Homo-oligomer: A and B are copies of this chain.
Amino acid sequence: MTQFSKYPSVEKLRELAKRPINLTSGDLFTPKRVEEMCVVHPHFRLLFATEKVDQTILEHLLKLAEEAQVHEKMKAMQAGEVLNFIEGFESEDRSVLHTSMRDFFDHPNTGKKAQEAREDALKENEKLKAFMDENDKKGTFKHLVVIGIGGSELGAKALTVAMAHYNKPGRSLHFVSTVDPDNAASVVESIDLSKTLVASISKSGGTLETLTNEALMRYHFEKQGLDPKNHFVVVTGKGSPLDDSSKYLERFYMWDYIGGRYSVTSMVGGIPLAFCLGYEQFSQILKGANAMDKHVLQTTNSRENLPLMSALLGVWNRTFLHHHTVAIIPYSQALGRFAAHLQQLDMESNGKQIDKKGQPVDFDTGPIIWGEPGTNAQHSFFQMLHQGTTPVPIEFISFKESQYQQDLEVKGSLSQEKLLSNMFAQSMALAQGHKNENLNKNFPGNRPSRILLGKQLTPFTVGALLSYYEHKVDYQGFIWNINSFDQEGVQLGKVLANQMIDLFAKRRGKASEKFKPLALGEAYLKHLDNL
């Protein structure tokens, strides 16, 4: 039996899950419930009246948090204790210190590892500020191409899209991530390389896509008579194959205690965000993230801890009510790529099969994360959410105020008000349902959701939102007692991909020394040949 299944609260919650709450009951879903089922935070409110919980279930979820010692684990993580390990098996054995990347403001953490990490991060931030301030002054680079994939792309992309309103004029940003050659080709076609800065981002310095795309981009610069040395910078680990002063204008560092998916507030996000917004706005993002880090550290009353409450409701939906997925539906166009970041953050962290004691899990771990912004999603897949055969728990996100503040009153209300109205309406409709004798117009209801409400999406609050989700994910890992910080599940695909690549190389007489025949692979190549 796993550690998780041994917690007394887990047994109790499994019992409670057999007699589920019914949200379609008007006696249950009342204005008073909407008022009370809420976590109040200085910048956000989490509204969960439409989750399938009552006071008894909440009580046991809060007990689960205590039994799993989430506050102790959070404190240990932010102080720099080694948390990235599996007992009894070879594992990464690392600290987890993304919180140190932004710990420059009030009451920095006093853990020794955390202090060291903060000081290293501060040096990189100073280097970044100097580099970007100079570019702001001289105007050398108008375009930035980021070469990076996974954690080196998704978080930075989500945040630069979210913050586009704050962009410095005339800046453009492009990502070259996949090994699909059309990705690089379409970017090169669209920009003036003489005004372009390229940032290669790879912690290990060994990512296939990034090395291939860097070679491809250098080739394009050289073809245009430009010296890549004057255009390329790198973000990598010290001593990695990419840590080579002869090839880059500047080198920025990251460390093994920063997982790719947790790296937005390191130089991985720092380069694109400071390029687009200026260093000062990037610093506001760090400040927002740091404020949320402090909130989770200081709020040991679990009921008042914003990410922890979301984590507990998520565990309830996933592990006890057995929902396979979570839809992230921001009613905010600026968060259009946020779900793609959360897919990696959550699924790569918690899509695991063994716990930290090396036991195969006997419960469901991380769910499938997906979603698109509202109101668009209403006109796309909400049909299925209301009337399909598989309920989908939803996390709505929205803000009281728009970013641009350019709105128009049409028929008595602003667009922003129509936007919020739609979100509240969906949450209510999914919970309440609506009986109709025409079964095609019948709404079963009783479908759970919660709402994260903020005042406005700014650099500060987007930093806080980023950190909110990082902590939702690590709290869930703490509760399930799994290692949220490694990703062994990506290795097998890499090995087989290299064997397949070697089959192609062999056809040109360039197979590597490691070449191994692969009969299944040859069978696939035959289909390609016969197309």
Contacts and interface: CB of A to CB of B under 8 A. Distances in A.
B178 A441 contact: no
Contacts of A334: 182
B372 A340 contact: yes
Nearest to A215: B410
A273 to B, nearest CB: 18
Among A30, A219, A429, the one with the most B-chain Cβ atoms within 10 Å of its Cβ is A429
Among A426, A439, A524, the one with the most B-chain Cβ atoms within 10 Å of its Cβ is A524
Given A184-B406, A414-B504, A424-B524, 4 more contacts: A178-B376, A180-B416, A368-B368, A425-B494
Interface stretch (A13-21, A228-236, A396-404): A396-404
A120 interface: no
Contact of A428 (B209, B352, B496): B496
A254 to B, nearest CB: 16
Contact of A376 (B150, B165, B368): B150
Contact of A510 (B90, B347, B412, B502): B412
A379 B421 contact: no
Contacts of A301: none
A492 interface: yes
A183 to B, nearest CB: 4
A34 B333 contact: no
Contact of A367 (B178, B363, B390, B521): B390
Nearest to A386: B489
B415 A181 contact: yes
A225 interface: no
Total copies of the chain? 2
Interface string A341-375: 00110011011111000101101111111101111
B165 A353 contact: no
A406 to B, nearest CB: 4
B181 A374 contact: no
Given A443-B489, A520-B31, A413 B366 contact: no
Contacts of A492: 386, 429, 433-434, 443
B441 A406 contact: no
A504 B211 CA distance: 54
Contact of A488 (B165, B348, B387): B387
A512 B420 CA distance: 18
Interface in A36-91: 38, 45, 47, 86, 89-91
Nearest to A360: B439
A500 B347 contact: no
A213 B410 CA distance: 10
Interface stretch (A135-143, A284-292, A324-332): A324-332
A165 B530 CA distance: 26
A190 to B, nearest CB: 9
A130 interface: no
Nearest to A524: B424
Interface string A242-260: 0000000000000000001
Interface residues of A, number: 161
A1 interface: no
A7 interface: no
B504 A413 contact: yes
A274 interface: no
A179 interface: yes
A185 interface: yes
Nearest to A421: B500
Nearest to A522: B31
B384 A489 contact: yes
21 contacts: A34-B524, A89-B439, A150-B380, A165-B182, A177-B375, A178-B375, A178-B376, A325-B370, A353-B442, A354-B440, A358-B440, A364-B389, A364-B390, A368-B381, A379-B490, A386-B493, A413-B505, A418-B497, A421-B497, A421-B501, A426-B497
Interface string A469-511: 0000000000000010011111111101111111111001011
Contacts of A504: 412-414, 417-418, 420-421
A185 B405 CA distance: 9
A226 to B, nearest CB: 17
Contacts of A350: 384
Interface in A429-453: 429, 433-434, 438-444, 453
